[in-house]
């Protein structure tokens, strides 16, 4: 189960080693960590939802608390201290584009703001509702995860936008393909979230950043559906995909996306190389990049 007040699964823990505790105590004085806020107590602190009831909207305290914050340090401090000033008024889990359209119309009628929610791994406050007189509906894509099409000839795959990194790679890799997009939040972040935040991964040096992999898709907006067709490179006018990349949920809900995929490499090897000085390391990186030597990861 995902941790409600921090990163990762509740069954995976990394306690601070004794040596690190001693090091920190030496730097900051005696360590006296505050106990975490109690989940059940925080649940009781939620204000009443301002949204009208709807069969697709979950207004339970659990749903609203677990979608209230992302994964930045201020988010963790808020969650672990139990001092969370604002919550969404409800959370919806659409399963189809039709559901997304229904929910946007519902939100319009209720005068509510909509926050599209992928994996909630934002470190920039993207998915945190702000204090406002209008209610907030968080729209989680977690039930829209299917592979819709794999075009082996054109080397593209179309997925529903809520697919997470591991789900997407697993589905592709059993078919002999990879997207190769590995942000460090890969475990929980989603295809729609990567596009909406112009994400970059550890192996983007070889496979390309998400803007180079995003080849088309669909978005639901308050004004209707936007189709983002997959054209070959074109010189005709601006590319509307550029408006969607990095749109941070402000233009609508990305419901599906077509991405460029590659054949899985036959072998992959990773080496760590230590340089005597920073300058020598930086010089090696410069030469590798400028000589266009094929590596997938260089950090």
Ligand X SMILES: Cc1cc2nc3c(=O)[nH]c(=O)nc-3n(C[C@H](O)[C@H](O)[C@H](O)COP(=O)(O)OP(=O)(O)OC[C@H]3O[C@@H](n4cnc5c(N)ncnc54)[C@H](O)[C@@H]3O)c2cc1C
Question: C-alpha distances in angstroms, 15 versus 9, 12, 71, 188?
Answer: 14, 10, 19, 22
Residue of the chain from 5, 145, 158, 189 that contacts ligand X (CB under 6 A): 189
Position 159 contacts ligand X (CB under 6 A): no
The number of residues that bind ligand X (CB under 6 A) is 33
Pick the binder of ligand X from 184, 234, 277, 294 (CB under 6 A). 184
Q: How far is the CB of 140 from ligand X (least distance, A)?
A: 8
Using the rule CB under 6 A, which residue among 87, 93, 106, 117 binds ligand X? 117
Nearest approach, Cβ of residue 297 and ligand X (Å): 12
The residue range among 51-59, 117-125, 278-286, 290-298 that interacts with ligand X, by the rule CB under 6 A, is: 117-125
Minimal distance in Å, beta carbon 115 to ligand X?
5
Cα 56 to chain centroid distance, Å, stands at 22
DSSP sequence for 59-128: --HHHHHHTS--SSHHHHHHHHHT------SEEE---SHHHHHHHHHHHHHHT-EEEEESSS--SSSTTP
Cα–Cα dist 20/17, whole Å? 5
Please name the helix (run of DSSP H) or strand (run of DSSP E) that holds residue 214, with its range, or none.
strand 214-221
Q: For ligand X, give the closer residue by CB, 154 or 296.
A: 296
Q: Does 158 bind ligand X (CB under 6 A)?
A: no
Burial of 5 (0-12, 13-18, 19+ CB in 10 A): buried
Question: Residue 39, exposed/middle/buried by CB under 10 A (0-12, 13-18, 19+)?
Answer: middle
Site map 257..286 versus ligand X, x via CB under 6 A: ------------------------------
The answer to whether residue 5 forms part of the interface with ligand X (CB under 6 A) is no
Question: Which DSSP category does 149 fall into?
Answer: E
Q: Is 294 buried (19+), middle (13-18) or exposed (0-12) by CB count in 10 A? A: exposed
Q: How far is the CB of 84 from ligand X (least distance, A)?
A: 17
Q: Which is nearer to ligand X, 40 or 223 (CB)?
A: 223
In this structure, are residues 189 and 199 in contact, taking their beta carbons and an 8 Å threshold? yes
Which position among 196, 213, 228, 259 is part of the footprint of ligand X (CB under 6 A)? 196
- Is residue 90 close enough to count as binding ligand X by CB under 6 A? no
126 binds ligand X (CB under 6 A): yes
- Give the C-alpha separation, 160 to 144, whole Å: 5
The footprint of ligand X (CB under 6 A) covers 7, 70-71, 115-123, 126-127, 141, 161, 183-185, 189-190, 192-194, 196-197, 199-201, 248-249, 253-254
């Amino acid at each position: 189960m995902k941790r409600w007040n921090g990163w990762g699964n509740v069954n995976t823990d990394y306690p601070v080693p004794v040596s690190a505790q001693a090091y920190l105590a030496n730097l900051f004085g005696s360590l006296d960590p505050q106990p975490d806020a109690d989940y059940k107590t925080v649940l009781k602190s939620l204000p009443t939802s301002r949204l009208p009831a709807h069969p697709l909207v979950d207004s339970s305290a659990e749903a609203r608390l677990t979608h209230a914050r992302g994964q930045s340090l201020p988010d963790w401090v808020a969650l672990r201290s139990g001092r969370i000033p604002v919550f969404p008024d409800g959370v919806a889990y659409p399963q189809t584009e039709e559901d997304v359209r229904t929910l946007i119309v519902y939100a319009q009628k209720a005068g509510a703001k909509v926050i599209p929610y992928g994996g909630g791994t934002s470190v920039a406050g993207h998915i945190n509702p702000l204090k406002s007189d209008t209610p907030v509906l968080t729209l989680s894509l977690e039930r829209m995860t299917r592979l819709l099409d794999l075009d082996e000839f054109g080397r593209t795959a179309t997925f529903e936008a809520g697919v997470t990194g591991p789900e997407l790679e697993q589905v592709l890799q059993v078919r002999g393909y990879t997207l190769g997009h590995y942000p460090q939040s890969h475990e929980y972040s989603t295809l729609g979230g990567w596009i909406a935040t112009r994400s970059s991964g550890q192996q983007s040096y070889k496979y390309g950043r998400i803007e180079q992999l995003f080849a088309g898709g669909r978005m639901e907006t308050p004004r209707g559906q936007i189709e983002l067709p997959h054209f070959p490179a074109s010189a005709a006018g601006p590319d509307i995909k550029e408006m969607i990349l990095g749109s941070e949920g402000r233009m609508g809900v990305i419901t599906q996306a077509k991405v460029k995929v590659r054949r899985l490499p036959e072998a992959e090897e990773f080496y760590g190389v230590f340089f005597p000085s920073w300058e020598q390391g930086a010089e090696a990186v410069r030469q590798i990049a400028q000589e266009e030597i094929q590596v997938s990861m260089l950090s």
